[in-house]
Amino acid sequence: VNEQIDPDIGCESIGDFLCDNEDFHAPQKKRKGRGITKLEDIFARGSEMPKIKIQLNQFGQPVGNNSRKFSSAIGCYVRKKLSVSSVDWRLVDGEKKFEVWTDLKKIYDIDDAAFNWFLSTAGRKWKDFKSTLKEQYFNENLTNVDLKNRHSGRVNDEDWNFLSEYWMSPECEEKTKQAKFSRSQVGSLHTSGSKSFARSGHEMSNELGRPPRRDELYIKTHTRKNGVPTKHAEPVINKLKEIVEAHPELKERTIQLGDAFAAVCGEKEPRGRVRVLGLGPTPQDIGTPGLRSYTPTRLQMEVLARKKAEREKAALEQRIAEMEEKMQEQRMAHEMRNVEIISQNGSNTQHHLGTRSGEHVDETNNIAQFHEDEAYVEDQSSDEGENLLGSMCVSSPAMQSCQGNLVSAPAAHPSQGNPINATRAVQPSGNPTNATPAVQLSQGNPTNAIPAVQPSRGNPINATLAVQPCQGNTVRAAPAIPPLHDELIGKDVILYAILRDQPVAKGTIISTNPSIVLGGVPLGKQYCEVVVNVVLKRDMILPRPYGYMEKMGDADRMSIAWPYKRLKVCKTSKSSQSATGGRS
């Protein structure tokens, strides 16, 4: 099991993103480039559009169909926002790096577990961009003046001057030679194009129904589409197949226990990454065998604190979402109760319609009709007093007779010799049910006497009582009972604005019961329930909005609460009252 192949064969795979150059030493045919990656369709997305979901594997690496464009989006943001005037990626401003991450999260829905992978990928993109600038625009044989305008606007002049000076320095030349030598020692390159190891492993797990082993993933990513392995990877692939057949128990071993790939290519992993896993996970994260470098305690605590904060944030966001959902349900339930109240109210005879274009009445005719009623009301205002509603007072008769017999009383006349409170005669209207009582004061009585009661002619049941004073009785008369609002039920009225004397609608009073509930609120003693028949001012705000009714235009043919002090009985109701002898 511990047998290893010749290290000169080469098991190393370069980078996380697989390239099309299968054989490093094979002659390359130059192809026309595809141009600069801009991803205009991604960056043109508005804030109202849903975020693009990024799926992660167990190592916090993006997988799935959206992962490829997400990696390209990182490269675009790095080129736009991060300066290249630094020798090392670790010297780039950390706040700028984090700003790139936050900007990406405005477009993509990605978990913070991918932050380590993001930093590694952003660093790789940053170095690749500098390499592209050097390859396309830099020429060591040119002077600084000649190089000044060769960058084609890809970077600003300050960054370009820094790069030009650095590339010409002896320090950079030495590093360039070392990098070229290291590149020449690469044993094999993978063959899956721009697809990452993480994405290739995710696709294999879907096919196999389990996570693939490292030896399986290595064979998959170093074999051409025609099934032929690359030249430098073929010896490694053959050795992997042989050792798995000879020692089947290696299939059950994890990376931590030393899998088949470690048995063939050695246990030692490159610095900062694990072979065949790609960017992101480190040997310290995985716990590979032979590990000599461990994560510092301070960094471990910072990572744990960050993960704890992320969990608390996620829990808080979930709680807020649940509370918002609960509040939305309560609002919906409240609206449903309002609708039920409206539908259960017997005075509401039609459903509310969103548009009333077909039901609008001619407002000019309504106002003209209103002026006729208004003129009639003004003619009667002297009899009605100062209030908008006329007050009608009914005397309280005393059910008492001094001599024990009831006589018919004529119309009352002022008392002779009585200088105080001579009462005007009130003639009955001929109504057999609600006749107005006739009042007569006693002669020579210096005070208000209690009247005697006598039934009206022709009405044996509900007659209005005639009043006659008792002789020699000096007791005070009982006070008058205030008028009741019940007599207004069925009357057509004109509704006036609350703050000014402007008519806003015409309607019919259908209830004066203070305890009746309208829109979830009792009417009270100051309001009555009115059905709106004609709307004059559609934009007038209702004094008591409820449900979907806020303006007078919404209350057409609906019942609303209206104060007694802001309405008048219109002409039609008074005419009908006179014709029926005052019957309500």
Residue 68 shares a structural domain with residue 172: yes
Contact by Cβ (8 Å): 408, 454: yes
My answer on whether 226 and 245 are in the same domain is: yes
Is the predicted pLDDT of residue 163 greater than 60, yes or no? Answer: yes
Give domain status of residue 384, yes or no. no
Query: What CATH number is attached to the domain comprising 539?
Result: 2.30.30
Residues 126 and 86 in one domain: yes
- 417 and 552 inside one domain: no
371 domain residue, yes or no: no
Do residues 469 and 489 share a domain?
A: no
CB-neighbour burial class of residue 162 (10 A; exposed 0-12, middle 13-18, buried 19+): middle
Q: Which of 81-85, 326-330, 415-419 has the highest mean pLDDT?
A: 81-85
Residue 24 lies in a domain: no
Do both 493 and 469 map to the same domain?
no
If asked whether residues 48 and 162 sit together in one domain, one would say yes
- pLDDT, tens digit, for every residue of 106-154? 999 998 889 889 999 999 999 999 999 998 888 888 877 777 777 778 8
Q: Answer whether residue 507 is part of any domain.
A: yes
The predicted-structure confidence for 205-256, as pLDDT tens digits, reads as follows 999 999 899 889 999 998 988 888 888 888 888 999 999 888 888 888 888 8
Q: How, if at all, do strands 549-551 and 567-569 pair? A: unpaired
Q: Please indicate, yes or no, if residue 189 is contained in any of the structural domains.
A: no
Give dist(CA 344, CA 255) in Å, integer: 72
How many folded domains does the chain comprise? 5
Tell me what percent of the residues of the chain surpass a pLDDT of 70. 65
- Do the beta carbons of residue 164 and residue 193 sit within 8 Å? no
Q: Is the pLDDT of residue 544 over 60?
A: yes
| 129 part of a folded domain | yes
Highest mean pLDDT among 22-36, 112-126, 339-353, 484-498 belongs to: 112-126
Together in a domain, 145 and 168: yes
CB-neighbour burial class of residue 456 (10 A; exposed 0-12, middle 13-18, buried 19+): buried
Same structural domain, 142 and 221: no
Using the predicted structure, report yes or no on whether residue 553 has a pLDDT greater than 60. yes
E strand or H helix at 320: helix 297-344
Q: Is residue 23 part of a domain?
A: no
Helix, strand, coil % over all residues of the chain, rounded to 5: 40, 10, 50
Q: Which of 480, 507, 541 is the last residue of a domain?
A: 480
351 inside domain: no
Whether residues 153 and 238 fall in one domain: no
Is the predicted pLDDT of residue 357 greater than 80, yes or no? Answer: no
Q: What are phi and psi of 102, to 5 degrees?
A: -65, -35
Answer yes or no: do 324 and 442 share one domain: no
Q: How confident is the model at residue 442 (pLDDT cuts 50, 70, 90)?
A: very low
Q: Which domain holds residue 246?
A: 197-286
Residue where one domain finishes, among candidates 141, 162, 184: 184
Q: How far is CA 1 from CA 29, 190, 214, 243, in A?
A: 42, 26, 16, 8
Contacts for 195 with CB less than 8 Å, ≥ 6 apart: 17, 18, 68
Last residue of a domain, one of 480, 515, 536: 480
Q: Are residues 154 and 47 in the same domain?
A: yes
Look up residue 500 and give its amino acid.
R
